[in-house]
């Protein structure tokens, strides 16, 4: 199921989805930073129905191997700041337009299984 990542940290993620299937609470999130997805196991900590009929879902990540930790940290602290700096340097866009362009870039395309 495709989701939109709204918040991502080293310990978890907040995602939005329109068609949420009831789950046992354990999920695998696939983050597409590169061509090969980063797969992280997690547990659903909350699910809230939003006004637009979507769901906001909180996921806490479970233990990760060293390679996965390195890839996630690299994305959070190297790739994302670099992309945001690149967007900010384009002064022709408003902050809202820059964030929209970043979201459209596909960096945060993710899937839950």
For position 95, what pLDDT does the model report?
A: 65
Neighbours of 107 (CB within 10 A): 17
For position 13, what pLDDT does the model report?
A: 93
- Residue 96 token pair: 């809202």
- Taking only the tens of pLDDT, the chain with its 113 residues reads 788 888 999 999 999 988 876 666 899 989 887 778 899 999 999 999 988 888 999 999 999 999 999 999 988 888 877 777 776 676 666 667 766 666 665 545 555 54
For position 76, what pLDDT does the model report?
A: 87
pTM for the whole thing?
0.72
Residue boundaries of the structural domains of the chain: 2-112
Domain 2-112: CATH superfamily is predicted glycosyltransferase like domains (2.40.10.220)
């Amino acid at each position: 199921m495709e989701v939109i990542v709204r918040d991502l940290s080293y310990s978890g993620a907040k995602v939005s989805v329109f068609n949420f299937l009831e789950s046992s609470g354990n999920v695998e999130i696939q983050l597409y930073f590169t061509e090969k997805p980063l797969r992280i196991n997690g547990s659903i900590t909350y699910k809230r129905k939003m006004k637009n009929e979507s769901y906001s879902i909180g996921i806490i990540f479970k233990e990760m191997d060293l390679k996965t930790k390195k890839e996630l940290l690299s994305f959070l602290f190297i790739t994302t700041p670099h992309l945001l700096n690149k967007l900010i340097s384009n002064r022709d866009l408003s902050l809202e337009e820059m964030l929209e362009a970043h979201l459209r870039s596909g960096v945060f395309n993710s899937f839950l299984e």
